[in-house]
Structure 1
Amino acid sequence: MSPAPGAAPAVAFIPNVASTRHYIGAWAVLSVLQYFLAEAVVAMAWAGPRPYDLRTGYISDLGALRCGIYLGRDVCSPLNWLMNASFVVQGLGLLVGAILLTSGLLRVAARPGTRVDWSRRKPWLAAAAVRLLTGAAGVGTVVVGLVPEDAGSPWHYAGAVMYFAAGGAALVVLGILWLRKTGMAWFLLVCGGVSLAALTTGGLTHMRVPEPGTLERLMGYPVTVGMAAAGLVIAQRVHRHRKQRREAVASARATAG
């Protein structure tokens, strides 16, 4: 990270947007989109007495290890290993992003040349909270993949709630932090708000709704899409700045030659 001109490094600095660390972190977060492909493939391979219905079937049913009746539902997912692997990969992507994407980068929404003022504590705390919540969401979905719903452990449901709650909260905080920095901020706010509202509805109704699958997907899909959108913004800006740096170096070498 290079210090801002005319400012003490301890007070303000300009995040190195073009770093490889940030580029890898952005793509790690963006990789969560693989979940949708995995879910579609696993759902098509469903072998229950009736076709899998996204509106009434729980997401975790796709990762159930055994065929039979589970909590009154007929479940049979031959590709359960693929669904569970997808959960783990999704969680690891969020964890890697939470580790590699620095608070300074998140504060400026990956805008090159933007100064970070350390005296402003609220944006710093918000960026740190985004990283912490994103990491928690990643841990939650890793647990979901490692402990399927019919494994006889409460950790599966704890992991799912952690993903929905922490992921939704991370998007809301990031959306607020990115206001006036990118139009994507409003999309993140909507995604986070929808997820948290659906989670609250599920908790109040104990999921006793006509379409529990739809309600659960309103908890999870916005988190996945919102995280991917944030990763896309960062990846695009980091890629653009890296390209500009390479062109500047090439131009300087050509001039010197």
Structure 2
Amino acid sequence: MTASAPDLTDRRVARGGVALVATTQYLIAEQVVASAWVDAPYSFGDNYISDLGVPECLVLDDRVVCSPQWLLMDAAFVLQGLIVLVAVWQLAWLLPRAWRWAATVLGGVHAVGMLLVGLFPGSIAETLGGDATRGMLHGIGASLAIAGGLVWILVAGIGMLVRRWRGVGILSIVLSVVGLVGMAGLLLAPTTPGADLGLGIGGVERLAVYPIIAWLILMGISAVLVHRGALRQEQWERMRAEDEAAAQAALGASGAAATDA
């Protein structure tokens, strides 16, 4: 049995969509912070994403880490987590009940992971700054953000297919699979030659992360457009109903006049 269709004219659809579109701030912050590296240029292939948020300047065996705008990147990580929490709160009800709770929990896991990544800057590869606790919490956050995010969009995609929203459902599943390939490469790269698919450690990490960001933005755009379309449909149906009522009233009046004559 297909679950009853949700009311897409509900303002929560628009609010959640706008929130998801706002996750573009992550990509903007990443570009701004990366361009600020002067002492050693930031490499999207050789540097981890989290290197952008590390407050220390370090020369490591495989890369240099020195991010002048580290605070901006960490703020973007935290803001991303908060935006996702808002979006989940506004949009989770659109999915069928059986999938709604799973998607809510997984969206929350991803958001909490992003918060931890920003609040405890570090690296998933090693302990930076001599603070093991900070490094551990950062690693936990990165794992929750990436793994939780990819499973989240997979579950949401299946829920959309149940709703018979085939286009966005299939897109969600495809993006999740691409991200899972990237995550596997990220986990295997330190010990398995070629696991980074020739993209470098930073490149394969982005293969895991960018599908999540792309999904957030595309779902946001879809929600805004669907909400607008539903409002226009509702307005058209109201106008048609009013026209039909007016026509019936006119017909009744003419019939009454003919009877009187």
TM category, shorter: 0.7 to 0.9
Residue 130 in structure 1 maps to residue 121 in structure 2: no
Structure 2 CA distance, aligned partners of 1:65 and 1:96?
Answer: 28
| Structure 2 unmatched runs, 5+ | 123-127, 247-261
Aligned residue in 2 for 1:75: 65
Return closer, same or farther for 1:127/1:80 CA change in 2, 3 Å cut-off. same
Determine helix, strand or coil for the equivalent of 2:45: coil
Q: CA deviation at 1:172?
A: 1.2
Return closer, same or farther for 1:12/1:170 CA change in 2, 3 Å cut-off. closer
Identical-residue share of aligned pairs (%): 33
Aligned residue in 2 for 1:170: 152
Q: CA deviation at 1:192?
A: 0.7
Aligned residue in 2 for 1:220: 209
Contact 2:120 2:138 in 1 (8 A): yes
Question: In terms of Rg, which structure is larger?
Answer: 2
Structure 2 CA distance, aligned partners of 1:71 and 1:155?
Answer: 23
Structure 2 CA distance, aligned partners of 1:135 and 1:95?
Answer: 6
* RMSD across aligned positions (CA): 2.6
Structure 1 stretches of 4+ moved >4 Å:
11-14, 207-210, 246-256
One-letter amino acid of the structure 2 residue matched with residue 56 of structure 1: D
Determine helix, strand or coil for the equivalent of 2:64: strand
Aligned positions, number:
228
After superposition, give the CA deviation of every residue in 1:113-157 in whole Å (9 maximum; x if it has no partner).
xxxxxxxxxxx3223212211121011111111111146311111
Residue 33 in structure 1 maps to residue 24 in structure 2: yes
Aligned residue in 1 for 2:257: none
Structure 2 CA distance, aligned partners of 1:147 and 1:244?
Answer: 47
Determine helix, strand or coil for the equivalent of 1:178: helix
Structure 1 CA distance, aligned partners of 2:239 and 2:75?
Answer: 43
One-letter amino acid of the structure 2 residue matched with residue 194 of structure 1: V
Structure 2 CA distance, aligned partners of 1:48 and 1:157?
Answer: 26
Determine helix, strand or coil for the equivalent of 2:37: coil
For residues 218-257 of structure 1, the aligned pairs below 5 Å read 218-245=207-234
Structure 1 CA distance, aligned partners of 2:7 and 2:168?
Answer: 22
| Structure 1 unmatched runs, 5+ | 1-10, 108-123
Q: CA deviation at 1:239?
A: 2.2
Q: CA deviation at 1:224?
A: 0.8
TM-score (norm 2): 0.77
Aligned residue in 1 for 2:249: none
Determine helix, strand or coil for the equivalent of 2:59: strand
Structure 2 CA distance, aligned partners of 1:21 and 1:48?
Answer: 46
Q: CA deviation at 1:33?
A: 1.6
One-letter amino acid of the structure 2 residue matched with residue 187 of structure 1: L
Residue 100 in structure 1 maps to residue 90 in structure 2: yes
